[in-house]
Every structure is written in structure tokens, then in C-alpha cells.
Amino acid sequence: MHAGGRRTGARQRGISLIGLLLWAIVVAFVALVALRVVPTVNEYLTIQRAVNKIATEGATTVPEIRAAFEKQKEIEYSISSISGKDLEVTKENDRVVIRFAYDKEVELMSPVFLLIKYEGRSR
């Protein structure tokens, strides 16, 4: 050891300015994607809840189910990607099953878009 308590040849540790800028760019990009994607995920979850609610309420005909979805859509302002006519209604083991699928384009920054394919079904 040298006088002053320092070892010779010891390296400094830390982040350089360029490293810090690179990490800031990565964090900003992830935050941008998250801010653009989170509302679409919220809409998907809202649609999923609406479809599950309609399937358990006892509507049996396709027009009744589609009308119930349209009514639910009026209540839930966040549903804008699909309508009642986009629902696929089937019966499995005497149970009504409602399926839906749609694509959502999210503009990250022009001309870059993110395409998300959502699909779901009632329980």
C-alpha cells in the first residue's frame, strides 16, 4: 500500500456518460412502448370481462348476445376495437361460448407501428 491508503493499479468503477446515455435511451424506448401498449391491454381485459359477463347472464341467441355486448360497449367507454357483429358465438356442451379476435396497431413513432393480435373467449 502506498501512503494515503490507496492501492496502486486500482480501477475506478462506475458508469460513463455514454453508458448513461445509452441506458437512458433504452429506458425511454421501453417507457414509450409501455405507454402506448397499456391502454390496448386495458381494452382487451375490458372486452374479456364483458364477454364473460354476457356468457354467464343466460343470453342464448346470437342476436341477444350481440345486443348485450353493444349495451356493455355503451357502458364501457374503453371498448372501441370490436363490436357485437365481430363476436363468434358457438355452443359447447350446452354452454354458450363467445370468441373474439382483433388486431390493434399502435404507432410508436411515424412510420414505426407495433401490431398486436388479441384474441379471447368466454370461460
Q: What is the pLDDT of residues 75-94, one digit of tens each?
A: 988 899 999 999 999 988 88
What is the mean pLDDT of the segment spanning 27-47? 95
What percent of the chain lies above the pLDDT cut of 90?
A: 68
Q: What pLDDT does residue 5 have? A: 57
- In this prediction, residues 44-52 reach a mean pLDDT of 95
Amino acid residing at 117: K
Give CA–CA dist 3/7, Å, rounded: 9
Bridging pattern class, strands 88-92 and 112-121: unpaired
Domains of the chain by residue range: 38-121
Phi, psi of 41 (to 5 degrees): -65, -40
Whether 21 and 28 have beta carbons less than 8 Å apart is answered as no
